[in-house]
């Protein structure tokens, strides 16, 4: 394949404009009405999850929440394009994607409450634990994808990361290995313009993050990250190509983090209000709603059903996360290795001794 065929499109792929009107793109298939309705429902639920989690942080019920408010189209589409046999490797910001894969919201947020390891069983819904070290999950994702190839499974892996993570060594190692071994991975970069306070311009001078794929010998594509139709189409194609043996690809979504990096961050110190306001007009939720309303696909009844489901998810989050937890320090040592090492046993005994001497049983 000549290398120019790996190059991303000049402009990010868009199938819905800012006002929810269809944009024709000869090379892309527009999602079905059913998929658009489902995506809209997931967007509404995702927004509600972000709002509720933020409120729980303010009530001291979650230690921290890296919100994906404004990025919900990326979150929803990443989960929707995967099949049951596939794996999702999320970052700390991808709570809505994880819940989209079927993981219980309370279990998903258990880690951010400060309790019990990753909070869920990764094998149940094929969702890896959320990682805080940037880009480390990309290497794990490639390992799982390569293992699937060796076993002859048709598993595809969605490996998520942010724009800042593309500067990490692990990002480059993961892409190179995946390309050389034709691993069935979709590297999905949510470019939300900032790595905490560092703007994209200080992260790279490449024409786009998707261009980075070309250097490794895999296709790169850019997509409007607030257009759920375009995301479903582009990510869907990338997953299909990987499943068909085409190897890895990189998709860069252009989106924006509307809220602070986490509750511990003051975003007003490094970005201007008018920049944030500009992105409000590109809200993914308003866009899908305008599209569906414009083609009479969204009935009042369906809107009410969606709102009720979003509310019941929020209620379950409040009920489950309001409970006080008392983590057992001994659980720190569980699940570190499948077979615990003698050193780990010594450390566990050391901790147990310390705790008993301090009167903590």
Q: Which residues would be at the binding site for ligand TPP (CB under 6 A)?
A: 93, 132-134, 162-165, 168, 192, 194-196, 257, 261
Q: Shortest distance, CB of residue 160 to ligand TPP, whole angstroms? A: 9
Catalytic residue among 93, 140, 261, 282: 261
Q: Which residues of 321-346 are buried (b: 16+ CB within 10 A; e: fewer)?
A: beeeeeeeeeeebeeeeeeeeeeeee
Q: Is 140 a catalytic residue?
A: no
In three-state secondary structure terms, 235 is helix
In whole angstroms, what separates CA 257 from the centre of its chain? 13
Contact of 236 with 51, CB cutoff 8 Å? no
**Residue with the closest Cβ to ligand TPP?**
162
Catalytic residue among 257, 282, 287, 291: 257
- Residue 131 CB partners (closer than 8 Å, separation 6+): 90, 91, 92, 137
Contact of 48 with 311, CB cutoff 8 Å? yes
Give the span between the Cα atoms of 111 and 72, in whole angstroms.
20
Give the span between the Cα atoms of 82 and 157, in whole angstroms.
8
Specify the pairing of strand 249-254 against strand 185-191.
Answer: parallel
Spell out the alpha helix ranges (H) of the chain.
33-58, 72-80, 95-100, 105-113, 122-125, 136-151, 169-180, 212-216, 228-241, 273-280, 284-294, 300-321, 342-357
Q: Is 335 a catalytic residue?
A: no
Closest Cα partner for 186 from 140, 141, 240, 250? 250
Catalytic residue among 58, 270, 331, 335: 270
Contact of 188 with 78, CB cutoff 8 Å? yes
Q: Shortest distance, CB of residue 268 to ligand TPP, whole angstroms? A: 17
Q: Shortest distance, CB of residue 70 to ligand TPP, whole angstroms? A: 11
In whole angstroms, what separates CA 249 from the centre of its chain? 16
Specify the pairing of strand 194-195 against strand 198-199.
Answer: antiparallel
Q: Shortest distance, CB of residue 106 to ligand TPP, whole angstroms? A: 23
Which residue numbers are catalytic? Answer: 257, 261, 270
């Amino acid at each position: 394949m000549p290398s120019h065929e790996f190059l991303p499109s000049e402009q990010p792929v868009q199938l819905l404009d800012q006002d929810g009107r269809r944009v024709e793109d000869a090379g892309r298939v527009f999602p079905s009405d059913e998929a658009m309705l489902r995506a809209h429902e997931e967007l509404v639920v995702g927004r509600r999850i972000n709002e509720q989690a933020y409120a729980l942080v303010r009530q001291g019920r979650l230690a921290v929440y890296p919100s994906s408010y404004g990025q919900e189209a990326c979150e929803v589409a990443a989960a929707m394009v995967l099949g049951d046999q596939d794996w999702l490797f999320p970052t700390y910001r991808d709570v809505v994607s994880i819940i989209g894969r079927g993981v219980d919201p309370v279990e998903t947020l258990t880690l951010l409450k400060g309790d019990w390891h990753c909070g869920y069983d990764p094998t149940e819904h094929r969702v890896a634990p959320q990682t805080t070290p940037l880009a480390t999950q990309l290497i794990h994702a490639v390992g799982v994808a390569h293992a699937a190839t060796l076993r002859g499974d048709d598993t595809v892996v969605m490996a998520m990361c942010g724009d800042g993570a593309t500067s990490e060594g692990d990002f480059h190692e993961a892409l190179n290995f995946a390309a050389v071994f034709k691993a069935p991975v979709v590297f999905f970069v949510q470019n939300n313009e900032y790595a905490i306070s560092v703007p994209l311009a200080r992260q790279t001078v490449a024409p786009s993050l998707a261009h980075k794929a070309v250097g490794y010998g895999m296709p790169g594509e850019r997509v409007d990250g607030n257009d759920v139709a375009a995301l479903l189409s582009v990510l869907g194609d990338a997953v299909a190509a990987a499943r068909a043996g085409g190897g890895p690809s990189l998709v860069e979504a252009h989106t924006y983090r509307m809220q602070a990096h986490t509750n511990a961050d003051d975003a007003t110190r490094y970005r201007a209000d008018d920049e944030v306001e500009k992105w409000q007009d590109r809200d993914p939720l308003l866009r899908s709603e305008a599209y569906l309303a414009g083609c009479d696909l969204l009935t009042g009844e369906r809107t009410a059903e969606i709102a009720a489901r979003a509310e019941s998810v929020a209620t379950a989050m409040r009920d489950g996360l309001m409970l006080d937890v008392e983590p057992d320090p001994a659980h720190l040592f569980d699940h570190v290795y499948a077979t615990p090492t003698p050193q780990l046993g010594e450390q566990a005994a050391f901790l147990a001794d310390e705790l008993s001497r301090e009167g903590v049983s």
